[in-house]
Chains A and B, each alone.
Chain A
Amino acid sequence: MSSPTAERSFIRSRHVEFAAIAVGLVLLTVIFPVLNAHGLLSDYRINLWGKYLCYALLAISVDLLWGYTGLLSLGQALFFSLGGYMLGMYLMLQIGMLGSYAKAGQNPTGLPDFMVFLGHTFLPPFWRPFHSFGFAALMVFVVPGLLALIFGFLAFRSRIKGVYFSILTQALTYGAALMFFRNDFTMGGNNGFTDFKFILGHSLVEPDTGPATMRGLFVASAVLLFVVVLFCHWLNGTKFGLVRQAIRDGENRVLFSGYATAHFKLFVFVIAACIAAVGGALFVPQAGIINPDQMTPIKSIEAVVWVAVGGRGTLVGPIIGAIGINALRSWATQAYPDSWLIILGALFLIVVLFLPGGIVSLPGKITTWWRGRPKAAAPADSAAAPSPERS
């Protein structure tokens, strides 16, 4: 292999990546919303795709850790859910006097319904600041970020690596789920938060204004996804990006080259937690519900499958994986409801066995196969073989 060719194909692949991102951005932020506004794309689809975009953010957070840094976190859904819960608290307080108990005259102070049900008479103090959207939006970053900072500090300082790190993150998310399942944690217990009415004064449920709000949330998700992708792209080009990948491939060498690898891993872990949390915060108003089921380890493992299928260690791989698998799921759970898990498992196995680079590596594989084909088919005709390469 000669370096100029490698360089050229590298540049070409970056062009392709950029083109794909640009086309995706225009489709998502302009064309789809316009089609939806004119009734050519159903509200259901917009809502569904809005959720996929949030899942894509979760997938990117998994990929930042697993694909780029070599840290397989099986707890990213925890940060996704925490982000969702933080915005969910704001959404719950926005319901106010429109809740079921208040309508029935049994809730004069406008407490969230689940609190009335559990016999609370006043709002717990830590809930009060969540009347403000700004505070809730800040907490979307602060709470998951702080948890990641503390957990990451302890884990990386003790040099917990590999499968032990994966198990610990899984235990963390499981522990958090158990805590959120408890009613006296005042976070809605196993029902979680639901029945949202308003976000920033815009209705989420009214038949005439709700779809426009959903469209806005869809565009917001697309824009945030784009911002995150740009941020990751920038990160890849920095020396930080080089160090991060070096930690993945040979942590000892990095450590003995004077880099405090634990600090780098901690930074990536916190950033990834924040990205997942933003995804979760945008997911909750679009899904209309958040409950501790979203925190169970299985949700985090699903996100790892998306990344593996899409292609880890790439920018677009996790997005393709998250959207592709979730689209497949919503089709398969209707068409073949009993065999969805088998389909998912088979897909994962096929990718692991035959396509370790994921879907994004497919075009390259096909090109290689296509170029290699004439040589293999007609080894005697060696003079003709180089011609496709020259073109």
Chain B
Amino acid sequence: MSHPILIVEDVSKSYDGFKAISDLNFYLFEGELRTVIGPNGAGKSTFFDLITGRAKPDKGRIEFGASDAPTHDLTGLCEYEINRLGIGRKFQTPSVYVEHTVRDNLVLSLKGPRGVFASLFKRLNSADCDRIDELLKLIRLDGKRDWKAGLLAHGEKQWLEIGMLLAQEPKVLLVDEPAAGMSDEETHRTGELLISLAGKHSIIVIEHDMTFVKQIARDNPVTVLHQGHVLCEGKFEEVQSDPKVREVYLGRGKHGTR
């Protein structure tokens, strides 16, 4: 068994009495590509909020530790500290710096010192520039490097944000609905990109689009969240045929349309 890089145990979180996450147990292994699905309100985004420090759990433990580094308790850290450990997050709605050029968006995301004074005297070296060029090609925005990011199409913004995530060279990537607002072809390409990143990075993808889930899940495990806890976990086909899952999620449409 490979090393669990992310451990979430007995975690609960409620907002004004509403239990967004209840007694959640979740383990992510190094190099894994995990897909998390679940109906609206299942707690998927809260789950990411808890890992990235945006929200603090009411109870339970969240630990992060690559095999070659000490383990860190994430519940006591704030957003930027967690990010610096190597956990990058892509938001559901693409959040890029709209007034900056595409290239500057990547410059800001490049791995490196993040302090105030370090940023005052930071000069890009040739390795940095090469890395940016490489990323621009990867996200297919090479021709638009000097465009203001605000002028990009929705799908391009999603790609730019994925590029920004990769520039940070995180160990764990948390990707929230990457295919939202993309055409079928763009969605497919996004899926291929994520598959190619697995192994080097450990990835959790939250997604609604079942075609996309099927594409990226392949033989990888899929986790189904329901009412804040794990309903079931397994390969895509197993999950798809699980009666509990059909009941709460996949089957709901069938009952509705009959």
Contact = CB atoms under 8 A, between A and B. Distances in A.
A191 interface: no
A135 B83 CA distance: 44
Interface in B82-102: 83-84, 88-89, 91, 95-100
Nearest to B165: A257
Interface string A221-260: 0000000000000010011101101101110111111111
B120 A249 contact: no
Nearest to A246: B97
A244 B54 CA distance: 21
B116 interface: yes
B79 interface: yes
A252 B100 contact: no
Contacts of B144: 3
Contacts of A238: 119-122
B75 interface: no
A223 B202 CA distance: 55
A255 B97 CA distance: 12
Nearest to A313: B99
Interface of B: 52, 54, 79-80, 83-84, 88-89, 91, 95-100, 104, 107-109, 114-116, 119-122, 144-147, 151, 164, 168
Contacts of A235: 120
A129 to B, nearest CB: 30
Interface in A315-330: none
22 contacts: A1-B151, A3-B146, A7-B146, A238-B119, A238-B120, A239-B119, A240-B116, A242-B100, A243-B108, A245-B97, A246-B108, A249-B98, A250-B96, A250-B97, A253-B96, A256-B54, A257-B80, A257-B88, A259-B80, A263-B116, A264-B116, A264-B119
Q: Which 8 A-B pairs have the closest CB atoms?
A: A3-B146, A258-B83, A239-B122, A240-B119, A239-B119, A253-B95, A246-B97, A258-B114
A contact face: mostly helix, strand, loop, or mixed: helix
Contacts of B115: 260, 263
A43 B100 CA distance: 46
Contacts of A257: 80, 83, 88, 108-109, 114, 164, 168
B12 to A, nearest CB: 23
Interface string A255-282: 1111111011001000000000000000
Contact of B80 (A1, A248, A258): A258
B119 A256 contact: no
A68 B91 CA distance: 24
Contact of B107 (A7, A242, A245, A252): A242
Nearest to A7: B146
A378 interface: no
A253 B97 contact: yes
Interface in A128-185: none
A246 B95 CA distance: 11
A200 interface: no
Query: Which of A7, A243, A257, A263 has most chain B Cβ within 10 Å?
Result: A257
